Amino acid sequence: MTQKSIVILISGSGTNLQAIIDAVKQGQINAGITAVISNRADARGLQRAQREHINTAVIDQNAYPERIAYDEALIAEIDKYNPDLVVLAGFMRILSGKFISHYRNAILNIHPSLLPEFKGLHTHRRVLETSNQVHGASVHFVNNELDSGPVVIQAQVPVLPGDTEETLRGRVLQQEHIIYPMAIEWFIEGRLQINDNEVLLDNKVLHRPVLWKENQLTFSQQH
């Protein structure tokens, strides 16, 4: 049986990329990372991939003034590897409908909030500006609306007195490194699927995301 292929898109330091690399090396994810692609040549995550002898490429966003032209170049590079799954790991670009349609139902993203709350940027700062006592991260399928695709799994962390953006970001990031490989593992094993806008795990509709809290998973298939 041919090993399944993952292509990962990054823009920055690549800590989630590293968590996925580690999960592959440890056998948690039974797939190969066939390429890591960045929109920025200075993304430090590229060095993480190169150390593991993973193919890397840079599709420089500055070379493509139009979004659709950029996405066409990105598709051409990704398609060299015929991936089963495209993983966005801190990829700081909004993807076009053409890109999302091309990899329909096979793009995962991680977002540092408990979606649908706090879509977009600066989530930790925005949480601290509220009275919220809980924050977290969400893994979701990508659709045509920013940070709005069906959510697979979420991790919760408490917002503590005296928290800063940095301390809160650090605790959320620790949880991201747990739940993202988990969701990828489920997809690669065929346990996780999406049908229209419904997420199925083990052939059961997830009416609410799986919750990772205090090192335990909580599943809810009920309305």
pLDDT digits (tens, 9 = 90+) for 48-78: 999 999 999 999 999 998 999 999 999 999 9
pLDDT band for position 1 (cuts 50, 70, 90): low
Residues 91, 5: one domain?
yes
- Structural domain range at position 124: 112-138+145-223
Residues 12, 89: one domain?
yes
* List 102, 111, 135, 140, catalytic entry: 111
Residues 90, 68: one domain?
yes
Q: Within a 13 Å sphere around the CA of 98, how many CA atoms are in the beta-carbon half?
A: 10
CATH of residue 69: 3.40.50.170
Residues 179, 94: one domain?
no
Residues 78, 162: one domain?
no
Residues 100, 121: one domain?
no
Q: Does 222 score more than 70 pLDDT?
A: no
Residue-wise pLDDT tens digits, 74-111: 999 999 999 999 999 999 999 999 999 999 999 999 99
115 Cβ partners below 8 Å, 6+ apart?
A: 138, 140, 147, 148, 151, 154
Query: From CA 165, how far away is CA 168, in angstroms rounded?
Result: 5
Per the structure block, which two tokens stand in for 144? 């045509």
Provide the Cα torsion 118, 146, 218, 6; round to 10°.
Answer: -130
pTM: 0.96
177 a catalytic residue: no
Number of domains in the chain: 2
